[in-house]
Amino acid sequence: MWDNIPNNVDLDNDKKLQKALMKWLPNYLEWWNEMGPSDFAADKIYLRTAISVEKGGWAHFDYVKMPEYRWGIFLTPPHKGVEKKIGFGDYMGQDTWDTVPGEFRHDLRRMIVTQADTEPASVEQQRVLGHTAPSLYDLRNLFQVNVEEGRHLWAMVYLLHRFFGRDGREEAEELLERRSGDSDTPRILEAFNKPTQDWLAFYCFAMFMDRDGKFQLGSLAESAFEPLARTTTFMLTEEAHHLFVGESGLSRVIRRTTELMKTAPDEDVTKVGGIPFEIIQKYINEWFSASIDLFGSEDSSNAANYFGHSLKGRWHETRDKDITDHVALEGHYNLPVWENGRLSNREVPMRRAMNAVLLNEYHQDCERACKRWNKICAEVGFEFKIPSLKFNRNQGVYASDNFDLEGNNVTEAQFDAIMSKHTPSEKEYAYVQSLMQPVFEHGRSQTG
Ligand code: BYC
Ligand code: FE
Ligand code: FE
In a domain, 446, yes or no: no
**Ligand 1 pocket residue status of 209, Cβ below 6 Å:** yes
Neighbour tally for 444: CB within 10 Å = 13
Q: 112, 113, 114: which to mutate for ligand 1, most atoms within 8 A of CB? A: 114
**Tell me, what's the pLDDT at 170?**
98
Please tell me the predicted confidence (pLDDT) of residue 324: 94
pLDDT of residue 385: 98
- 111 pocket-lining for ligand 1 (C-beta < 6 Å): yes
N-to-C CA span, the chain? 45
Within-domain flag for 320: no
Residue 442 lies in a domain: no
In whole angstroms, how far apart are CA 25 and each of 44, 157, 269, 332, 376? 22, 11, 48, 47, 46
Going by alpha carbons, the residue nearest to atom 39 of ligand 1 is: 115
Domain that holds residue 45: 2-300+354-434
Question: What contacts 24+ positions apart, CB below 8 Å, involve 177-185?
Answer: 178/117, 178/120, 178/121, 179/35, 179/124, 180/121, 180/122, 180/124, 180/125, 181/124, 181/125
Q: Is 101 a member of any domain?
A: yes
Q: Quote the pLDDT of residue 75.
A: 93
Q: Tell the burial category of 435 from Cβ atoms under 10 Å away from its Cβ (0-12, 13-18, 19+).
A: middle
With a 6 Å cutoff on the Cβ, whether 290 touches ligand 1 is no
Q: Give distance in angstroms: CA of 114 to centre of ligand 1.
A: 7
Atom of ligand 1 nearest to the CA of 293: 36
List per-residue pLDDT tens for the chain, 448 residues long.
787 899 999 999 999 999 999 999 999 999 999 999 998 999 999 999 999 888 888 889 999 999 999 999 999 988 776 778 999 999 999 999 999 999 999 999 999 999 999 999 999 999 999 999 999 999 999 999 999 999 999 999 999 999 999 999 999 999 999 999 999 999 999 999 999 999 999 999 999 999 999 999 999 999 999 999 999 999 999 999 999 999 999 999 999 999 999 999 888 999 999 999 999 999 999 999 999 999 999 999 999 999 999 999 999 999 999 999 999 999 999 999 999 999 999 999 999 999 999 999 999 999 999 999 999 999 999 999 999 999 999 999 999 999 999 999 999 999 999 999 999 999 999 999 999 998 888 877 766 5
* Ligand 1: residue whose CA is nearest its atom 22: 302
> Is 321 contained in some domain?
no
- CB-ligand 1 contact for 122 (6 Å cutoff): yes
From 124, 151, 171, 189, the mutation candidate for ligand 1 (largest count of ligand atoms within 8 A of CB) is 189
Which ligand 1 atom sits closest to the C-alpha of 190? 1
- The CB of 295 under 6 Å from ligand 1? The reply is yes
Check pocket membership of 274 for ligand 1, CB cut-off 6 A: no
Residue 185 lies in a domain: yes
Dist. CA 360–CA 340, nearest whole Å: 25
CB proximity list for 319: less than 8 A, separation 6 or greater: none
424 in contact with ligand 1, CB cutoff 6 A: no
Q: How many domains does the chain have?
A: 1
State which ligand 1 atom lies nearest to the alpha carbon of 112.
Answer: 43
Nearest C-alpha to atom 47 of ligand 1 is from which residue? 296
Residue nearest (by alpha carbon) to ligand 1 atom 36: 294
In a domain, 282, yes or no: yes
User: What does pTM read for this prediction?
Assistant: 0.96
How far apart, in whole angstroms, are the C-alpha atoms of residue 378 and residue 272? 21
Taking CA atoms only, the protein residue closest to ligand 1 atom 35 is 189
The CATH number given to whatever domain includes residue 38 is 1.10.620.20
Helices (H), 36-135: 105-125
Q: 239 in a domain, yes or no?
A: yes
